Amino acid sequence: MRVYNFSAGPSTMPVEVLETIQKELLDTDGAGYGHMEGSHRAKPYEAVNNDAQALLRELLNIPENYYILFLQGGATQQFEAIPLNLLGKNNKADYFDCGHWATRAATLAKPYADVNIVASSKEAKYTYVPSVENLPIRPDAAYLHVTSNNTIFGTRMTKYPKTNLNMIADMSSDILSRPINVADFAVIYAGAQKNMSCAGLTTVIVRKDLVDNDYTMPICPSIMKWKTHADANSLYNTPPTFAVYVLLRMLQWLKGKGGVEGIQIQNEAQAKRFYDYVDNSKMFSNPVNKADRSVMNLIFHAQTPELEAQFVAEAKEAKIVSIKGHKSVGGLRASFYNAVTDEMVDYLLNFMREFERKHLNECK
């Protein structure tokens, strides 16, 4: 029996996609082999690479003046690739700090950049997203970096700064979960292991002029240059072929669900049901400013650490896994990525209600 998996990433995937992958593992599209074992120079993979780019462009309405790159190294590698690719002519970079990964991105840029933090909610333990209005953005900075969703602290950006700077967005944990206007951003990047694919793939969507005009720092290694990969259609070296193939199947599944607009309806409804219960619970609570609550990563607390440990233990017995909060903050967390079904949410909420009924006296 499959468990109810609420992992923050790598995350649960649609059963129908997994079954397709299982069926095609030995022979994909009549090639006589699967993309785990085929050459990235062969025609079958070339089709997968191009089809995945085309379908991602369609689902996100990515304009033609953007490259789509399929890379390795995770979003963490892009924390350094971004300054290395963009600060060859101007070393000033502004960062919007609303959580752990935003902080990490700024920290890893510091060896290459004059980093300026334009806003932060650190003083409130990142329980809200700072206002995007009247930020002290330097008009001569090369870019402004933002993080759209925060897996650890359970917040998301619902508005973005209005700026003439090139805006760079880490959308690792909410890409494809809601519509975005790609043209508002110079670069969007995302680790794939949440809504896009399995672990091993990182997607970078970058405006072509930033690549073609070569803003790279002289010390930027060739393998980390976006131009290296753009010129080779993401085939400069061996790409994560299997993860790109999984991406294609996931994008096909998402299109069948009504695309990004369709999945947003599901995601918002699931999150509302969860927060409505928690807000009216006598045992559970959520510390995040309501307007800034994440739809992907829903954190919550019981009254005591002991009750939270008991919750995790009983959840495991009930086949609910990956419900424990991040080690840096504790508490509890349920990640409702695109593949989480209504049935999974119902099961979790019913378990929480029963747990509260059984243990509420322990809170008094």
Catalytic residues: 101, 170, 194
What 3 state SS string does 208-252 have?
HHHHHCCCCCCCCCHHHCHHHHHHCCCCCCCCCHHHHHHHHHHHH
Which residues face 335 on adjacent strands?
297
DSSP string of 168-213, one letter each residue: EEE-TTTTTSS---GGG-SEEEEESTTTTSSTT-EEEEEEHHHHHT
- Ranges of beta strands (E only) in the chain are 4-5, 66-71, 92-97, 114-120, 143-147, 149-150, 155-156, 166-170, 187-191, 202-207, 297-300, 320-321, 332-335
* Distances, alpha carbon 5 to alpha carbons 2, 12, 65, 123, 241, in Å: 8, 6, 38, 32, 25
53: which residues sit within 8 A by CB, 6+ positions away?
A: 68, 70, 234
Of 55, 73, 305, 275, the C-alpha closest to 172 is 73
Which residues face 294 on adjacent strands?
none
d(CA 167, CA 179): 17
Residue 182 contacts residue 61 (beta carbons within 8 Å): yes
